[in-house]
Structure 1
């Protein structure tokens, strides 16, 4: 893990809030010249600290009225079953996030659907027909409280500028 300094931390905080800031705005956010800020941003990308930049799209604006958090326990847990399940998670657009976890379940997924009938059809096909699923437990999201995915970086800074 590469150490970050205070300027890197301020830069990361800024781009986590808005990845389309101008060079001038980035420089002002981290206390550097625009050119220096852009060089640091390029280095943060090259070092893998910034994995990718993406837009947060409103599910409801696209007609996805249902968002569910689903805990999945597979019926068999051999390497092949787990690897196939992981790959299918990556290849299934309705699954917006997926985590292989420890504890009572094997995976936690976030799934979107236009309505409960569509969600029911999805679960039947994905969990019953395609995978050896022992159980899955669904929690329907009532409202999104925080979805930005921003990581705390301020306290990670190793030295001040």
Structure 2
């Protein structure tokens, strides 16, 4: 069970994962050793899965962000596993979810341009034997960045 100090520690690390033990201890009003032990415990218990850097897509030349809904024509473990393998091989697909409703999958993709998105849809996704329909929504502007999880 998380206490208020654990929640404050997690919130601080979501804002800046480079915080030192001393900086955490100052923020949480704990000794450095207490802050370090809490951080290690939260890592060991799986609350903190990893530490990553957030890159700027525009600086990397990825000017098109889109959400792509995929509907399968045939459903079964083989088709689902085959489609999941395809998704995992494509670096431009940065997130994937299974859904309820009309679409079976929602994919978040980053591409260099519209031509690259078109190729991904028509030459990769629609060519998969289980895919029956693909619908895309191109992001015009992201006015709220991916936010930290509530703690």
TM-score by length of 1: 0.88
**1:56 and 1:148 in contact (8 A); partners too:** no
Q: How many residues align?
A: 151
Distance of 2:58 and 2:85 partners within structure 1: 26
Counterpart selection for 1:128 from 123, 126, 129 = 126
CA distance in 2, matches of 1:144, 1:73: 25
Query: In structure 2, what is the equivalent of residue 44 of structure 1?
Result: 42
Give how far 1:61 is off.
0.7
Q: Which contiguous aligned blocks of 4+ residues in structure 1 show a shift greater than 4 angstroms?
A: none
Partner SS for 1:50: coil
List runs of 5+ in structure 2 lacking aligned partners. none
**1-structure distance, mates of 2:73, 2:106:** 15
Q: 1:11 aligns with which of 5, 9, 12?
A: 9
Q: For 1:44 and 1:135, how far apart are their aligned partners in 2?
A: 42
Question: Please, which runs of 5 or more residues in structure 1 have no aligned partner?
Answer: 154-161
- The Cα RMSD (Å) is 1.3
Q: TM-score of the superposition, structure 2-length normalised?
A: 0.93
